[in-house]
Amino acid sequence: MTVPDQDPEEVFGRDYLDFYAAELHDGLNDEEAELIALLTNLAPGHRVLDLPCGHGRIAERLAARGAEVVGVDRSATFLEHARASAARRGVRVDYRRGDWHTLCMEGEFDVVVSWFTSFGYGDGDDVSDAALRTQLERHYAALRPGGALLLETLNILEPGLTDHESSTTKELEDERGRHLLVDRSRFDPNRGVLHVRRHVARSGQPTRSCRYALRLFSATELRRWLRDAGFVDTQAYGAEGEVFRVDSGRMVTVARRP
C-alpha cells in the first residue's frame, strides 16, 4: 500500500535522520566543519549563518570553534534534534525555524554556509531559476563587507547523472524489521535539473513518497550567478578542498562580498 505524496519536509525529517545516520558520522562531520572553517577563514567571534542547518551537525561544530552561529531550518524535527545535540555537546547555537524565503538579515554575518547540497532545491517537482537567484541575493545581503559565502553542491559532471531513470537505495534494520529508502532519479540536461521521486518503505507501514527537484550547476554557471548577485573572488574546490576537477565528488564554491 502506498499513501499519497507527502510534504517533502516530512520525508526529509525523521526518515533522513535514520537513513543517513551511518553516512553522516562524527568523523565525517568533524572533517567537513574543519574544511568549512579553513575555506572561509573562520575565526573565533565570527558570526555564521548556517542555512539550512538541518539537524545541526555542522552548526554545533562551528560553534565549538568559537563562532557565533545562527542555524535556520524549516523542519521542526531537525531543529528539535539540533537543539538536543547542542545541549549534549555543551555549545550554544541560535536555532530558528524558517527558510531563505523568510530570510531578512542585513549585514549581520561574516560567513554564510549552505552545506550538503542544500542550494538548488525547488518547491515540489520544479525549480525556479529566478527564485534561486533571489536566494543568492539574500545571502549577499546577510553578509558583512568582506564576508564569505560557501555553497556545497553535487558535481554536475558526475557520470552517474543520466536522463534515463536510475535508482539508489538505502537500507537499515532494527527491532521493528527492515526499512528501505529508494530514490528514483532522472536528470534533465537542458535545464540542469535533477528530478527525484523518493519512496520510504518502513516495515509494517504504508510506503510514503514525495517528489523534489534539484538545480545543478557547472562551476562556470554558478560563478556567473554569484557575480550577478554581487559576489567577487569566486573559487571552486573539490570535496576535500582540492582544486575542483571533472572527477571531484562534490563542488564547494566560496565567494566573497566586497
Three-class DSSP category at 249: coil
Query: 212-232 as b/e, with b when 16 or more CB fall inside 10 Å?
Result: bbbbbbebeebbebbeebebe
Question: With a threshold of 0.75, does the pTM exceed it?
Answer: yes
**pLDDT digits 0-9 by tens, 139-176:** 999 999 999 999 999 999 987 899 999 999 999 999 99
Bond prior to 145 in cis (omega within 30° of 0): no
Residue 240 has pLDDT above 80, yes or no: yes
Question: What pLDDT digit, counting tens, does each position of 57-79 carry?
Answer: 999 999 999 999 999 999 999 99
Contacts within 8 Å (CB) and 24+ apart, 185-189: 186/162, 187/161, 187/162, 187/163, 187/216, 188/163, 189/163
- Tell me what pLDDT residue 125 has: 80
Please give the pLDDT value at position 8: 56
Q: Is the pLDDT of residue 122 over 90?
A: no
DSSP line for 74-107: S-HHHHHHHHHHHHHHT--EEEEE--GGG----S
Nearest Cα neighbor of 237 from 219, 224, 216 is: 219
Q: What is the pLDDT of residues 2-12, one digit of tens each?
A: 555 656 565 57
Contact 180, 200 (CB under 8 A): yes
pLDDT tens, residue by residue, 81-117: 999 999 999 999 999 999 888 888 999 999 999 999 9
Q: Which element (helix H / strand E) includes 63?
A: helix 59-64
| Contact (CB, 8 A) for 230 and 257 | yes
CB 207 within 8 A of CB 201: yes
